[in-house]
Amino acid sequence: MADFTEDLMLISLRLAVPMHIEEIRGWSVEERVRVARLCVDEIGSHGDILQYGSKKRGEVAAVYNALARALAIGAYQPGGIDFAGQHWEVDPEGPSRTWADLPQSVETYVTLGSVL
């Protein structure tokens, strides 16, 4: 069961991280640092919820989104960020890309190592 849950989370991160990357495009470095700190607090305090679940409605989603957003913020750092065998990297000065620019398969896009 754990393998299925881990696979499902990784598959969903392949979509969620690029969505968060696009959402935070244009944020200042200061804003990304501020939100990254909030994400780290959420993950550090409640990260076990991703593994064990929660009976409280929305609690898993909050931690999951904090993880996806933290990875998206990390993608803006020089060299990007690696997590669970995936790599996300963004050139914050590069041209903005839209979802129409994405290849047919988000999995292929992430595997190529170049997200947005």
Give the span between the Cα atoms of 82 and 59, in whole angstroms.
25
CB 106 within 8 A of CB 86: no
Give the span between the Cα atoms of 70 and 98, in whole angstroms.
21
pLDDT digits (tens, 9 = 90+) for 4-53: 556 888 889 999 999 999 999 889 999 999 999 999 999 999 989 988 89
Instruction: Give CA separation, 24 vs 28, 29, 71, 107, in Å.
Output: 9, 10, 12, 21
Q: pTM for this structure?
A: 0.74
